[in-house]
Amino acid sequence: MRRRFFQDVPESDWLSYEWQIKNRIKTLEELKRFIDLTPEEEEGIRRTRGIYPMAITPYYLSLMDPEDPSDPVRLQAIPRAVEMDEKVQSRGEPDALKEEGPIPGLTHRYPDRVLMVVTTFCAVYCRHCMRKRIFSKGERSVTREEIDIMVDYIRRHEEVRDVLISGGDPLSLSLEKIEYILKRLREIKHVEIIRFGTRLPVLAPQRFFNDRLLDILEKYSPIWINTHFNHPNEITELAEEAIDRILRRGIPVNNQAVLLKGVNDDPETMLQLSRKLLRIKVKPQYLFHCDPIRGAIHFRTTVDKGIEIIRYMRGRISGMGIPTYAVDLPGGKGKVPISPSYVVRREGDKFIFQSYDGDLVEYTIDEVT
């Protein structure tokens, strides 16, 4: 098993989620002991303090190459000065997707689905986070009273069938609070499915070595998990074991990646990510274009790059492995898929298609009446 930097830590500690959280690296001095930091990173850690703080689990740190400043895990977790640069701070909005609504923590964008944000705590503060605005609020989770207010809203809205619980990381909450939320939601007849958006399989997979947590998730079925692998290097033996334990409890796991400049904006990288995801039985569901979030805009690449990646995958991996590439529209107008076009020309029922390998194929598709 690969375990860079922490060879002396006993196995029982390394496999403990609580140990991973307690020993998160949060300061420049601590991080310097492991990584040969660039001036850009050192300045980044200083300038983001209190605004976009840093926290890195020993496990996630162990995936970094200490000698490569462009390591994909390193780019996602270590602050860089560019986050605070005028050109990044002056563009984008803290809440570009208009999530903040009348009920704190609740966003009701689509009729059938609501989003609940239940904590600002994360195991690792991803530098590209779409909710970077909440980092500076400190680590705080919702109280039972606040949960009750959200649950009351959902009870009064019978059109809601699907509740997406996010954060921060919702599975970082205490087991008591996780169970409280699930129990209250399950009292509502019209709530059909519950989804957790959690990056813990990537950042601290040890969380899922806790059978009591898995018992709770299994008990309130149907529950789905959306997770967030961005790079093939993140799919380790421990991550695979976490996913396996989740799947064995009847909880499907989908992946939502974000297209990030320098991290995964490369067709072969994304192909390898999808292949590794299918091998651990995680469906690559979405590839999101990076949102115009203040402090994260330097991760943005072009839509042409996203289309190129999706086109590259077709023909090289099963359709199951090709995520839906999507942008989240500004002003809370929701997600829209973007797809390469395979229709070159159309005249009535006659189509000219381009096949995955570039051939033009004429095909008349008419209705049989």
Q: Which residues are catalytically annotated?
A: 109-110, 113, 122, 126, 129, 131, 291, 328, 335
The reply on whether position 164 binds ligand PLP by CB under 6 A is: yes
Q: Which of 9, 146, 335, 351 binds ligand PLP (CB under 6 A)?
A: 335
H-helix or E-strand spanning residue 130: none
The reply on whether position 113 binds ligand PLP by CB under 6 A is: yes
Report the greatest alpha carbon distance in the chain.
74
The reply on whether position 274 binds ligand PLP by CB under 6 A is: no
Q: Which of 23, 62, 107, 141 binds ligand PLP (CB under 6 A)?
A: 107
Residue type, 189: K
Q: How far is the CB of 110 from ligand PLP (least distance, A)?
A: 6
Q: Which of 36, 94, 104, 110 binds ligand PLP (CB under 6 A)?
A: 110
Per-residue contact track with ligand PLP, 284 to 323, x per CB under 6 A?
Answer: ----------------------------------------
The reply on whether position 225 binds ligand PLP by CB under 6 A is: no
Strand order in the sheet with 193-197: 106-110, 113-117, 162-166, 193-197, 223-227, 253-259, 283-289, 324-329, 334-337
The reply on whether position 251 binds ligand PLP by CB under 6 A is: no
Torsion over CA: 151, 220, 255, 23 (sign)? positive
Grouping H, G, I as helix, E, B as strand and the rest as coil, residue 173 is: coil
**Tokens 């991290």, residue?**
263
The reply on whether position 109 binds ligand PLP by CB under 6 A is: yes
Q: Within 13 Å and on the Cβ side, how many CA atoms surround 164?
A: 17
Question: Which residue's CB is nearer to ligand PLP, number 195 or number 207?
Answer: 195
Grouping H, G, I as helix, E, B as strand and the rest as coil, residue 339 is: coil
Stretch in the footprint of ligand PLP (CB under 6 A) among 71-79, 110-118, 138-146, 271-279:
110-118
CB atoms within 10 A of CB 64: 22
Cα dihedral 257, 263, 265, 266, rounded to 10, equals -110
Q: Which two tokens stand for residue 46?
A: 């200083």
Question: Which residue's CB is nearer to ligand PLP, number 115 or number 258?
Answer: 115
Q: Residues in contact with ligand PLP, total (CB under 6 A)?
A: 7
Q: How far is the CB of 256 from ligand PLP (least distance, A)?
A: 8
Q: How far is the CB of 108 from ligand PLP (least distance, A)?
A: 8
User: Cα 309–314–320 angle (5° rounding)?
Assistant: 105
Stretch in the footprint of ligand PLP (CB under 6 A) among 86-94, 106-114, 240-248, 304-312:
106-114
8 Å CB contact between 310 and 322: yes
Judged on CB neighbours under 10 Å (0-12, 13-18, 19+), 368 is exposed
The reply on whether position 98 binds ligand PLP by CB under 6 A is: no
Q: How far is the CB of 254 from ligand PLP (least distance, A)?
A: 8
Grouping H, G, I as helix, E, B as strand and the rest as coil, residue 165 is: strand
Interacting residues with ligand PLP (CB under 6 A): 107, 109-110, 113, 115, 164, 335
